[in-house]
Each structure stands twice: as structure tokens, then as C-alpha cells.
Amino acid sequence: MEKIVNLAKRRGFAFQSSEIYGGLASCWDYGPIGVELKRNVKEAWWRDMVTRRADIVGIDCSILMHPRVWEASGHVAGFTDPLVDCKLCKERFRADKLMDAQCPRKPSKHPGECEGELTEARQFNLMFKTFMGPVEDTASVVFLRPETAQGIFVNFLNVLHTSRQKIPFGIAQIGKSFRNEITPGNFLFRTREFEQMEMEFFVRPGEDERWYEYWREERLNWYTRYGIRRENLRLREHAPEELAHYAKACVDVEYHFPFGWSELEGIANRTDFDLRRHAEYSGKDLSYYDEETKERFYPYVIEPAAGADRATLAFLVDAYDEDVADGEPRVVLRFHPRIAPVKVAVFPLLRKEGHPERALEIVDILRQHFTVQYDQSGSIGRRYRRQDEIGTPFGVTVDHQTLQDNTVTLRDRDTMRQERISVERLVEELKRRIEI
Ligand code: ATP
């Protein structure tokens, strides 16, 4: 993990937030390479969950919502983690995760195993509060949303009436969520501000189990489709006592992170809990009328809820590799071409004889289609290494022959094979290889 964090900082994937002021714990800023990586993860999700499907539409809701939303959803009363304080060092820990935490004074021990006595556990609500308008009184308290899902539920009727969808159908959203986590950490894995990719799929009661099975498989396969190794993924079904009160079933897609198997995404059968609760609290009828069967009912909901940052971290960890290239050790990120932050790098073989000029012309052509980097400094081997380290799948080199017959060499990051290809065919060939 340390290697990944160092590489992330050195190559511009992610920086500590407010670093020049000493940093803000567990908040991260994505740098120029990281922002492309995360965008690609989100775009792959959106394309597969919305663009390519006739039965799912998107939405983008505001982060601030009516406070009653969080009463109806159960977050005000129940979105809590048990918290304990150490009476000696004054640190706070999640009572249910003590075995994952270190005593700050004696790192070889877990909290409570040292001389420090822990307080009784008390429930701590994870929602961030803020004030709306200029008056800071209780009437103006609003919350930063702790999940994107509720925006979807409260817009169920709006989407239904404007999109002409019929059950079964889904509503998808990507956006920021906030949780005042007691013990954030592990780089991008658990932060207090993060992005979620959530989809609520509304189905007829009785068909929920079939759709739950469908989304479990679909979502697991999504990660392997973009290059995550199957052996690093597993599905973990929640035991009945672990289930949220509204859920009929829940499964986590877990990834084998360097710190152990941990949740990447949760897929839950939320039953009709959310729509019924919002109907009750808002006084609006949120039921669905089936024109064909002339029945009115509250749909059940299957929810695949993923984290964009956790997924980005998983893609980064899974891509990381060290091997030997041209007799030299190299660090290489083996991103799937669609996920790779930079798709192609262009190198002039020499810094003279017209190579840079021709290379820059090629950059201009490629830039209309892909994220491109141009690099003319250092030996060609070193330039390849620099690109391998950020996972650029393709390298284009301009040499003497380019000026004669308009061909370049195209290098593949993984096989390191090079082949000559005419500049006219370059865009089409790269598109073909990226689309795989
Ligand atoms: P955990 O058990 O790890 O706290 P959760 O079960 O509370 O997660 P959900 O409420 O199911 O998480 O949220 C769906 C997804 O949102 C998670 O699978 C994860 O990818 C992401 N997520 C949740 N909390 C965080 C966080 N603090 N930082 C980054 N991503 C998060």
C-alpha cells in the first residue's frame, strides 16, 4: 500500500488535501493523472449502467436535501456507529472495529489492550450537519447527504412521469456523499467525502429475488470486464443478523486490498421500504400503477451501490506490477485501456531533424480523440518507463522513416512489442484496441 501511495503522489494520482497547511486527515485531491483515472472509472460505470441500457436512466440530485428526507430514510435515528473513547490517550475508535485499529501509544496493541481504559460505547451519527441561510439555529440545520440513493427515491415519480419507463427499470446517479467516519483511512478506501455510483432498480414484488441474483452477477462481472483479476474479487453474502432492518438480502463485492478483503460495492434488496417511508413522511402516494395488469403496488428495489474512489483504488492496486523490461526493473500499471488515464504517448526519437515537429503534428491529431502525452526528454527507454509507471497502454515513436513514408512505431505496454503503422491508420487502430 505504501508503494501505491508513494507512486500516487509522485506521479500525480492523488495528493493529501491542503498539504501546504499540514494536510487535512483522510481527504485527498486527485491530481492530473488521478482525475483522468477516476473519470474513466465513472464513465465506464455510466456507460454500462445507463448509456447502453434501455431500462435505466440517470439523474443528478443536489447534495442538500429537505431534512425530513433523512428522518424518513432512517438516517437521523439510525445512521450511527458505536464510538468509544480511550480515557488515557483521548483517541476515539469504532467499538465494532477495535481489532482493525492500533493503540496510538503502543502500536503493537489494539485499543483497550494497553493501560488505557475505554469508555462505554455510545452511538455517533455519521451525518455532517450544516446550516442553510444566514441564521444558525436548529430550524436551519441541513445535512450533507450520506448517500446518493435518497435523491433517487424522492424523485421516483418525477422520473417515472417524464421518462416513460415501465417497471422493471432503474435510476442511476453518480455524486458526492459525506460521512463523518470515526476511523477513516487506508488512503482512498475510507474518507469523509467520497463519490458514490448508485443505481436503484425498481421491480415488481415477487420478481425481486431474480433481479437480485442478476445484479450480483452483473456487478461482479463489471470489475473483471475492466481488468480486475477474478481471484482478487469475491462475493460475501450478509448473514441475517448483519442485514440492515430494511434489507431482505445483501451481498458485498469484496476486493483483496493490501490490507485485506474489504467491501468495494454492496448489492441490496431494499424491498419497498424507502418508497413506503417517503410516502408516509411526505404524504404523497409513491406507488406504481401497472397499465397492463391494472394493479397498483409499491415496487421493490435492488440497489447496487459502489464507491467511485474505492473502485479507483482497486483498479490502481490491481494494475500495479513490477517486472524487468530491456534488462531494467520497471514499475508498470497494467490498466485496461479504457481505464488507463493516458491512452497514448508520443515520442520523437531525436530532438532534432524534424522529429519533434512531426511528433507534435501527430499529437494534435490524436488529441482530438484521446488523452495524449508528449515526451521528448531523456532516452527513449526512460520515456517508456515513465509512461509504464502511469499505465499508458500505447506509445508512438516518430523516427527517420516517419519523415519518409509517414509510418510510426506503435508500442504495446504489456507485450512491449513494436510494429510499424501508417499515421493515417493510427486513430482507427488505437480506437480498436481501446474498445476491447
Ligand atoms: P463500509 O461498511 O465500508 O463503511 P458501507 O456498507 O457503509 O461501507 P454503503 O453504505 O453500502 O457502504 O455505501 C456503498 C459504497 O459506497 C461502499 O461499497 C463504498 O464503495 C462506498 N463508500 C461508503 N463509505 C465510504 C467512505 N467512507 N469512503 C469511501 N467510499 C465509501
When pLDDT is averaged across residues 172-178 and rounded to a whole number, the result is 98
Ligand 1 site-directed mutation target among 97, 190, 262, most atoms within 8 Å of CB:
190
Q: Let me know whether 291 and 356 are in one domain.
A: no
Q: Let me know whether 284 and 375 are in one domain.
A: no
Which domain CATH number covers 387? 3.40.50.800
The CB of 75 under 6 Å from ligand 1? The reply is no
- 163 pLDDT higher than 80: yes
Q: Is residue 378 part of a domain?
A: yes
275-333 tens-digit pLDDT: 999 999 999 999 999 999 999 999 999 999 999 999 999 999 999 999 998 888 999 99
- 73 pLDDT higher than 70: yes
- CA-nearest residue for atom 6, ligand 1, is 266
Q: Let me know whether 280 and 148 are in one domain.
A: yes
Name the residue range of residue 400's domain.
342-434
The per-residue pLDDT for 99 is 86
User: pTM value?
Assistant: 0.94
The CB of 266 under 6 Å from ligand 1? The reply is yes
The per-residue pLDDT for 97 is 85
The per-residue pLDDT for 96 is 87
**313 CA to middle of ligand 1, Å?**
13
The CB of 263 under 6 Å from ligand 1? The reply is yes
- 78 pLDDT higher than 80: yes
Which domain CATH number covers 264? 3.30.930.10
The CB of 265 under 6 Å from ligand 1? The reply is yes
The per-residue pLDDT for 101 is 84
Given the CA of residue 184, which atom of ligand 1 is nearest to it? 27
Cite the DSSP H helix spans in 338-422.
355-367, 380-390, 400-405
**373 CA to middle of ligand 1, Å?**
34
Measure the CA–CA gap between 282 and 301, rounded to whole angstroms: 19
The CB of 190 under 6 Å from ligand 1? The reply is yes
Q: Let me know whether 292 and 357 are in one domain.
A: no
**181 CA to middle of ligand 1, Å?**
10
Q: Kindly compute the dihedral angle of the four CA atoms of residues 17, 21, 23, 27, in this order, to the nearest 10 degrees.
A: -30
Q: Is residue 82 part of a domain?
A: no
The CB of 304 under 6 Å from ligand 1? The reply is no
- CA-nearest residue for atom 19, ligand 1, is 307
Q: Is residue 150 part of a domain?
A: yes
Helix H or strand E encompassing 289: strand 288-290
Measure the CA–CA gap between 286 and 280, rounded to whole angstroms: 9
The answer to whether 398 and 349 are in contact (CB under 8 A) is yes
- CA-nearest residue for atom 20, ligand 1, is 307
User: pLDDT exceeding 90 applies to what percent of the chain?
Assistant: 85
Q: Let me know whether 368 and 250 are in one domain.
A: no
Q: Let me know whether 158 and 246 are in one domain.
A: yes
The CB of 307 under 6 Å from ligand 1? The reply is yes
Q: Is residue 78 part of a domain?
A: no
Q: Is residue 399 part of a domain?
A: yes
Show the cell assigned to 400: 527517420
**307 CA to middle of ligand 1, Å?**
6
The answer to whether 195 and 42 are in contact (CB under 8 A) is yes
Supply the mean pLDDT for the chain: 95
The per-residue pLDDT for 238 is 97
When pLDDT is averaged across residues 89-111 and rounded to a whole number, the result is 88
Polymer length of the chain: 436
Q: Is residue 322 part of a domain?
A: no
Give the DSSP per-residue string, 235-256: EEEPPGGGS-TT-SEEEEEEEE
Q: Let me know whether 196 and 250 are in one domain.
A: yes
Whole-Å CA distances, 126 to 111, 144, 229, 382: 21, 10, 33, 47
Q: Let me know whether 138 and 263 are in one domain.
A: yes
- CA-nearest residue for atom 24, ligand 1, is 190
- 373 pLDDT higher than 90: yes
Q: Let me know whether 312 and 380 are in one domain.
A: no
Residue 172, SS3 per DSSP:
strand
Q: Let me know whether 49 and 174 are in one domain.
A: yes
- DSSP designation for 119: P
**55 CA to middle of ligand 1, Å?**
26
Work out the number of other CB atoms within 10 angstroms of the CB of residue 72: 20
The per-residue pLDDT for 33 is 98
Work out the number of other CB atoms within 10 angstroms of the CB of residue 436: 7
- 183 pLDDT higher than 90: no
- 405 pLDDT higher than 80: yes
The per-residue pLDDT for 436 is 66
16-40 tens-digit pLDDT: 999 999 999 899 999 999 999 999 9
The CB of 191 under 6 Å from ligand 1? The reply is yes
**130 CA to middle of ligand 1, Å?**
22
Q: Let me know whether 304 and 395 are in one domain.
A: no
Ligand 1 site-directed mutation target among 263, 303, 315, most atoms within 8 Å of CB:
263
For the chain, the domain total comes to 2
The CB of 181 under 6 Å from ligand 1? The reply is yes
Burial of 414 (0-12, 13-18, 19+ CB in 10 A): exposed
The answer to whether 31 and 5 are in contact (CB under 8 A) is no
Cell 507485450 sits on residue? 415
Q: Is residue 105 part of a domain?
A: no
Q: Let me know whether 58 and 195 are in one domain.
A: yes
Ligand 1 site-directed mutation target among 100, 181, 245, 310, most atoms within 8 Å of CB:
310
Decide which of 301, 316, 331 is a domain's last residue: 316
Q: Is residue 208 part of a domain?
A: yes
The CB of 385 under 6 Å from ligand 1? The reply is no
The CB of 175 under 6 Å from ligand 1? The reply is no
The per-residue pLDDT for 105 is 87
